[in-house]
Amino acid sequence: MEKYLSISEMASIHNISRQTLIYYDKIGLFKPTNVDDKGYRYYSPYQIPFLREICFLKFIGIKLDDIKKHIEHRNLTSAISLLEYHKEFVDEEIKSLLSIRELIKQRLNVYTNVDQFKDELCKPIIEEFAERKALFIPFENEISKKELHLTSMKAYNILNKIGILSPKKFGTIIMKNQLTEKYIFQGAGVFSIISSISSDNNMENIITLPSGKYVCMYKYGMPYDTKFLYQLIEWINDNSYKITGNIIDMCLLDTTFYDENTNVDFCQLQIPVEKI
């Protein structure tokens, strides 16, 4: 057996474990050249390039079943095909990871600026917003905390089905034409802002939140707590502005951040306006 390599030697050369080689033998991916009477496995030095290739393909993420099929019928054409197919898979993974990283950055931006937001609590401020696209799901029942959560999950599930892991931001929209009505939440619902929409998705219920000037207010409270909304509307009227669109109640931090004594969200009211 002097011309052969033991299983330990073969494993050491490729920086893998003996157990890995035993498993590869078991599944028929890479078998030893010889097995002696005691069951010891021995490999030919000529097998080194094959195991090196297996290790490389596994390192770049190709599944063992696919590697096995490739090694059994290995040629230049099949090697190119395998790598091109896996490159497409990796490209999709990179795209997904970049999307996840952007979601993390967005949440970090909110979380790290919470103290700054709290300094502006209950104070009307003017902000400019670019146009935003959002999925809008109307409430089916009278607004309540339960209805908010159930409708939010409907929006989440719709977005998840088309590969949007999480909306950029979410909240409640109250219709401008209901502000003078006794029940202002008629036609209201949950929105989830999304960065882009593929024409292939053919999504319904997509609305546009227009660009422009908004009167805003940070507050602790649920969308159905109208005290802050009417307070902000009064400020708008007193300062010679008029409301030009629907009211946005953007959730920044939900109740998962607070103890049982705080059962409301940290939000920002956003009301589109123009000067009279």
Residue 216 near residue 126, CB atoms below 8 Å: yes
pLDDT computed for residue 185 by the predictor: 95
Enumerate the CATH 3.20.80.10 domain ranges in the chain, comma separated: 117-275
pLDDT computed for residue 61 by the predictor: 94
Enumerate the CATH 1.10.1660.10 domain ranges in the chain, comma separated: 5-83
pLDDT computed for residue 245 by the predictor: 96
Q: Which two tokens stand for residue 188?
A: 């209201």
pLDDT computed for residue 200 by the predictor: 46
Q: Show pLDDT as tens, one digit a residue, over the chain (276 residues).
A: 568 999 999 999 999 999 999 999 999 999 999 999 999 999 999 999 999 999 999 999 999 999 999 988 889 999 999 999 999 999 999 988 887 888 788 778 777 777 677 677 889 999 999 999 899 999 999 999 899 989 989 988 888 787 665 555 789 999 999 999 999 999 999 999 887 554 445 677 889 999 999 999 999 888 898 999 999 999 999 999 999 999 999 988 876 665 555 577 888 999 999 999
Q: Which two tokens stand for residue 71?
A: 């090694």
Distances in Å between the alpha carbon of 131 and those of 152, 196, 204?
A: 22, 12, 18
d(CA 72, CA 70): 5
d(CA 233, CA 230): 5
d(CA 214, CA 273): 6
Domain 117-275: CATH superfamily, name plus number: Regulatory factor, effector binding domain (3.20.80.10)
Candidates 3.30.70.580, 2.40.37.10, 1.10.1660.10, 3.40.50.180; correct CATH number of 5-83? 1.10.1660.10
Q: Which two tokens stand for residue 18?
A: 């003996």
pLDDT computed for residue 72 by the predictor: 83
pTM of the model: 0.65
Q: Which residue's entry shows tokens 């946005």?
A: 248
Distances in Å between the alpha carbon of 153 and those of 144, 147, 185, 196, 219?
A: 14, 10, 19, 20, 23
Residue 133 near residue 167, CB atoms below 8 Å: no
Provide the 10 A C-beta neighbour count for residue 138: 14
SS (H, E, C) the chain: CCCCEEHHHHHHHCCCCHHHHHHHHHCCCCCCCEECCCCCEEECHHHHHHHHHHHHHHHCCCCHHHHHHHHHCCCHHHHHHHHHHHHHHHHHHHHHHHHHHHHHHHHHHHHHCHHHHHHCECCCEEEEECCEEEEEEECCCCCCHHHHHHHHHHHHHHHHHCCCCCCCEEEEEECHHHCCCCCCCCCCEEEEEECCCCCCCCCCCEEEECCEEEEEEEEECCCCCCHHHHHHHHHHHHCCEEECCCEEEEEEECHHHCCCCCCCCEEEEEEEEEEC
Nearest partner of 172 among 145, 201, 199, judged by Cα: 145
Report the length, in residues, of the chain.
Answer: 276
Longest CA–CA separation in the chain, Å: 97
pLDDT computed for residue 257 by the predictor: 64
